[in-house]
Structure 1
């Protein structure tokens, strides 16, 4: 395999500096990890690195622009000639920039904040290595994008990964006073690739699932039933306290959706009050009657963070056995929006019930919203008989 060797299962790039150019470098050879165990990826990355060096060395023998792997260089003759200064500040390594980012911005954030940042960086290290910020190029960014899709990651997730890298890069540039353009900005990709459209659960399936919940009558089914007639997100329901559930308060039962240390909310508009009707009201009463733990669903709150992923896998499997193969827990939210539309409920009221934000309508941010009674009256209209 050209320009590479293997060490402890990982491949490394290696290239000896030509003797006629040795005075430009502080080392006799350039060597660094290619961050992969894959021979195919290692070959691709080593050939790209070698091509960049050959291109530069050809120019260096006449004149130069930018030194690939410049942190190995003793001098930058072009910058020295033009500015009379020493080599430019290349900024921190991306790994160090990530540590700085998490240290300063990671306080009071869920574990997923740090996990997502480190995962995004590990993906980039596999394609381009851990380099100083100034050494990353637009080619690195587009190669990174392509590699993410090759992994089978869908367009929506690729957007989140690229957004994380872009945020880390911008933060480090600002914090360290660097004059750098972010190569990960304005990287084109198709967000629709690999994204499946979530379908609402049909009314017939909702009724079948609700009836099955009544028969089973256990904590897992209480969570399904609670969500089925409320439109709550799964994490919102799974992270509730008993004290968040209010039964027959002034003649109306409701659930209070608010942030907790173990379960943050998706958006600011997610904090809301949702009336309880139909199967959701039945489930809420069963939870309050049978549970003295403090948590509405203790099995999903045994650590310092609500384990909604575990709940999602188990519940999705069960409801598919009752309803259609396309039924998912999130499908109840889509279904609730359709059910409210069918009774001619105003979109602004639907958004308030479901905690959907509508940044395109400034007027909706005025006032305190619809009353609990008004929401309750509309929710009663969508109960499936």
Structure 2
């Protein structure tokens, strides 16, 4: 049976466009004798006609179709870089940066265009420009990896044909400019924590929490009062509308011991409202980068150039020194584990098990 009919099935009534079409006899069991649905424009009618032609070309049509869902399925999807980058972040449930900032950098250099129109030359130009701006090769690689992930997502979800132009991009002398991030010495921490606790600046009280839990800056700056036990004995690192997490594996419960608990008590006692650091909340979003820049500026003066992220390196070294099991170590820091699928079985480590190991590296023992 031929169903290759021209698109002439629209009528305009009271300013609204409708799609009207008689259903072939062999498909009336599923669709009824006549179709009538409100549509947006003629282009939508064209797409609906093509899909119905395909459906009705089959000899036996017995399953009913949700026409609204069919319209949604045939609608053209936005494919510009920044739109897909935002969608990718939303679907993955990860924090926006560096993914969004990488997409904006590329859009600045090559334009915010349909993702299938980018080429390998755009990737080369992106790489060379960032290097010329003084960005280290490790940072450039991180940006390239973000863009490659966006393109992989777009190629899969939007059925884009071709090769990912940001996959396996070569960087000249990659790693030669790497600067090793030195951790703090455990013996340096007591004086650093004391300097933080006597300060009147609340942001500095976050330092003992960072140092004794291994958290990332955004994880602590984005804490809500509801995420912390009333007695400051433990806290939950979890995503919320004002702050995403770096990865899904970053969500975790952590005990607070020693200086971390003392600092958290101060933060709870002095904060007003829902968030522990409301001064870094703007338009419903936690500005963790702003907080990190401010804190790192002070930390560098105190420690000869070390930053808050160095505390995270120190935390892992301290746990290594007491021979903490690798799986537990990763669970404490929210690091990705390489131990296989078995680690995901069960409920994981309890707060008391985690507390036991954190007490082993408590400053009271140093």
Does residue 376 of the first structure (1) align with residue 355 of the second (2)? yes
Q: Which residue of 2 aligns with 1:183?
A: 165
Residues 1:308 and 1:195: Cα distance change in structure 2 (over 3 Å): farther
Residue 242 of structure 1 and its aligned partner are, at CA, apart by: 1.0
Measured at CA, do residues 205 and 107 of structure 1 come closer, stay the same or move farther in structure 2, by a change above 3 Å? same
Any idea what the Cα deviations from partners look like across 1:195-235, whole Å, max 9, x if unmatched? 32222111232111111123225412221222122211111
Rounded Cα–Cα distance in structure 2 between residues aligned with 1:360 and 1:344: 17
Match of 1:286 among 266, 282, 288: 266
Partner secondary structure for residue 261 of structure 1: coil
Q: What's the offset of the Cα at 1:145?
A: 2.7
- After TM superposition, the structure 1 stretch with the greater mean CA deviation from structure 2, 175-184 or 349-358, is 175-184
CA deviation after TM superposition for structure 1 residue 258, in Å: 0.5
2:193 to 210, 213, 216: 210
1:240 and 2:223 matched: yes
TM-score normalized by structure 1? 0.65
- CA distance 1:360–1:124, change in 2 (3 Å): farther
Any residues of structure 2 matched to 1:249-264 within 5 Å, and which? 253-264=233-244
- Give the 3-state SS of the residue equivalent to 1:246 in structure 2: coil
1:119 corresponding residue in structure 2: 105
CA distance in 2, matches of 1:347, 1:306: 31
Q: 1:291 to 1:145 in 2, by over 3 A?
A: closer
Out of 138, 142, 146, the position equivalent to 1:156 is 138
In the superposition, relative to structure 1, how do residues 104 and 318 fare at CA in structure 2: closer, same or farther (>3 Å)?
Answer: closer
Separation (CA, whole Å) in 2 of partners of 1:208 and 1:369:
34
1:173-195 Cα deviation digits (max 9, x unpaired): 55665543333333222552533
Q: Tell me the CA shift for residue 133 of structure 1.
A: 4.2
Give the match's secondary structure for 1:296: coil
Contact 2:299 2:305 in 1 (8 A): no
Structure 2 match to 1:274: 254
Residue of structure 1 in register with 2:70 after alignment: none
The 3-state SS of whatever aligns with 2:180 is: coil
Instruction: Give the alignment partner of residue 331 of structure 1, picking from 310, 313, 320.
Output: 310
Corresponding residue number in structure 1 for 2:210 = 227
Task: Note if contact 2:115-2:154 (Cα within 8 Å) is conserved in structure 1.
Answer: no
8 Å CA contact 2:221–2:276 kept in 1: the answer is: yes
Task: State how far apart, in whole Å, the 2-side matches of 1:141 and 1:325 are.
Answer: 37
Mapped partners of 1:278, 1:135: distance in 2: 52
Task: Trace 1:72-83 onto structure 2 (pairs within 5 A).
Answer: none
The TM-score with structure 2 as length reference comes to: 0.68
Q: Tell me the distance in 2 between the aligned counterparts of 1:214 and 1:172.
A: 48
Distance in 1 of aligned mates of 2:217 and 2:105: 24
* 1:347 match: 326
Partner of residue 194 from structure 1, selected from 167, 177, 181: 177
Residue 299 of structure 2 corresponds to which residue in structure 1?
319
